């Protein structure tokens, strides 16, 4: 029974992770535009954008073998990995293991 609870908890973590990453991307992108670009958070947000882009681009390359195993188009998997990184890859791995 604990295994089923762990599985349900794991399924709930991924949407939360994607939402948090989505918010981070939105904030980082907004720091390129007024009014955030001129505020004290602007440089930090723009740096966050660069870090997110670099790390997720590396993840796209690193996880390419897993992404290629998906039934969905590779470009779609690359885009989702670029946006959500390991959170998306973890979801994809669970799908692949499940059937």
CB-CB contact of 18 with 90 (8 Å)? no
Angular region, 85: left φ>0, alpha ψ -120 to 50, beta rest: left
Q: pLDDT value at position 60?
A: 98
pTM greater than the 0.85 cutoff: no
How many whole angstroms from its chain centre is CA 65? 17
Q: pLDDT value at position 6?
A: 46
Q: pLDDT value at position 10?
A: 55
CA distances from 85 to 4, 40, 68 (A): 26, 28, 15
Q: pLDDT value at position 2?
A: 45
Q: pLDDT value at position 39?
A: 97
Mean pLDDT for back-to-back runs of 10 residues, the chain (99 residues): 48 90 98 97 98 98 97 97 96 88
Distance CA 35, CA 13 (A): 33
């Amino acid at each position: 029974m604990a295994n089923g609870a762990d599985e349900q908890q794991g399924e709930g973590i991924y949407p939360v992770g994607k939402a948090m990453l989505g918010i981070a991307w939105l904030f980082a992108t907004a720091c390129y535009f007024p009014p955030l670009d001129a505020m004290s958070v602007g440089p930090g947000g723009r740096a966050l954008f660069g870090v997110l882009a670099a790390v997720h681009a590396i993840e796209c390359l690193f996880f390419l073998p897993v992404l290629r195993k998906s039934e969905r188009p590779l470009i779609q998997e690359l885009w989702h990995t670029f946006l959500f990184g390991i959170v998306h890859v973890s979801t994809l791995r669970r799908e692949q293991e499940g059937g």
